[in-house]
Amino acid sequence: MSSDPPHRPLPYAPRSDAGPSRTPPPDPAALLAWYDRHRRTLPWRAPPGGRPEPYHVWLSEIMLQQTTVAAVGPYFRDFVARWPTVRDLAAADLDAVLHAWAGLGYYARARNLHACARAVCARHDGRFPEDEAALRALPGVGEYTAAAIAAIAFDRPATIVDGNVERVIARVFAATEPLPGAKPALRALARTLTPAARPGDYAQAIMDLGATVCTPRRPKCILCPWADACAARRAGIAEALPARADKAPRPTRRALAFWATDAAGSVLLRRRPERGLLGGMMEVPSTPWREGAVPDLAEAAAAAPGPAAWRLLPGAVRHTFTHFHLELTVAAGRLTGAPTGPGALWVPVEALGDYALPTVMKKVARHAAAHAVLAAAGGPGLVL
Ligand code: SF4
């Protein structure tokens, strides 16, 4: 608690350390004892008493950023089956890695994953470094991931703070300041609990507690090893924590996507720019993704990948990214001339699965396939 900045009001209800109602502090040993009985079995986790494999810890932590354990499991197993070591991953073709990653989203992470594997081989002879500073110097390894690898893989006393840990800490200390502003204070509080003994198990224990007992809704306080120490439980405010500042609503961007085919039935794809959203992934050509109405005919004509009698397919493809919703209207047509624009590539429909298509583009392909008859027979018309 002494780590709070000076002159800043405490973001949590202070404990009363005097008198018979004194609240005991949360005891890391009690949490570790709970973990020894109730730890989750996870594909990347070492068995009790076993040595964690740093490659598995790193891979799982990158995959788990902003997605769930259930979603990551099949991807993790597939990656370690294809590339059993960090050296194998470093030697892999980037397109193969992006392809295997497709569906997990956040493709910049897959690119960094590959770059990081190469850096571990080039700088550290294929072994992950143990200290946080050296880990943070690797591509795609930020403060959280460096702490997770240091703690879990190497049993260093690093403090991991993810969403589960923030929730547990906010509740145990009844910290009422809303997120995201409360992050530094919650991190400082979390640091006060990190033990010198078994810090790696402790890090996994507090994450497991957040995932299975101290859940966002209806926390199972009766099963919690920190129930006696929990200020939010005592105050009856556990479910209201952590508080969150109101979020700005997600805007909707719209565009016209072109499902362009040739006489052989191949589909025209192009590669997105290396940097930015879905960097380096394949897509069908489209007008720019912008807020507002679907582009008018003039803009659509300028963005079309070549001459064709385009037909608008009914409905739209919808996809949600972190910061916006996307609504793609799809125009289908057979090109009657050479494709325009850089990086165009004809791909047989049956070979689409071999390319690193992001989820939104797979939706476009399914949408086009679902309306193939309509597209061939003609529907609501748009001729560019
Ligand atoms: S007592 Fe309840 S609210 Fe407090 S940490 Fe445990 S599960 Fe969470």
Domains of the chain by start residue, with CATH: 28-240 (1.10.340.30), 252-377 (3.90.79.10)
Least Cα distance to 71 among 101, 112, 109 occurs for: 101
Strands 325-334 and 252-261: parallel
Query: Nearest 5°: phi and psi at 226?
Result: -110, 15
Calpha distance 300→268 (Å, rounded): 16
The predicted model gives 130-148 an average pLDDT of 95
221 in ligand 1 pocket by Cβ < 6 Å?
yes
The predicted model gives 239-253 an average pLDDT of 91
CA atoms within 13 A on the CB side of 239: 5
State the residue for tokens 């990081």.
Answer: 116
Q: Which of residues 21 and 369 earns the better pLDDT score?
A: 369
The predicted model gives 245-254 an average pLDDT of 89
Contact 279, 111 (CB under 8 A): yes
Calpha distance 26→306 (Å, rounded): 66
172 in ligand 1 pocket by Cβ < 6 Å?
yes
Question: Exposed, middle or buried, 147 (CB in 10 Å: 0-12/13-18/19+)?
Answer: buried
> What's the mean per-residue pLDDT of the chain?
88
Nearest atom in ligand 1 to the alpha carbon of residue 227 is 1
Q: How far is the CA of 235 from the centre of ligand 1 (A)?
A: 11
Least Cα distance to 88 among 120, 131, 44, 49 occurs for: 120
Given this model, what pLDDT does residue 49 score? 87
Q: How far is the CA of 23 from the centre of ligand 1 (A)?
A: 14
Given this model, what pLDDT does residue 357 score? 86
Least Cα distance to 362 among 370, 375, 353 occurs for: 353
233 in ligand 1 pocket by Cβ < 6 Å?
yes
> What are the pLDDT digits (tens) for 161-197?
999 999 999 999 999 999 999 999 999 999 999 999 9
Strands 266-271 and 282-283: antiparallel
238 in ligand 1 pocket by Cβ < 6 Å?
yes
> What are the pLDDT digits (tens) for 84-130?
999 999 999 998 999 999 888 777 889 999 999 999 999 999 999 99
Which structure tokens are listed for 8? Answer: 């800043």
Q: How far is the CA of 10 from the centre of ligand 1 (A)?
A: 20
152 in ligand 1 pocket by Cβ < 6 Å?
no
**14 pLDDT more than 50:** no
Q: How far is the CA of 159 from the centre of ligand 1 (A)?
A: 19
| Residues identified as active-site | 61
**22 pLDDT more than 70:** no
The predicted model gives 313-329 an average pLDDT of 94
Residue 309 Cα distances to 186, 268, 284, angstroms: 59, 15, 17
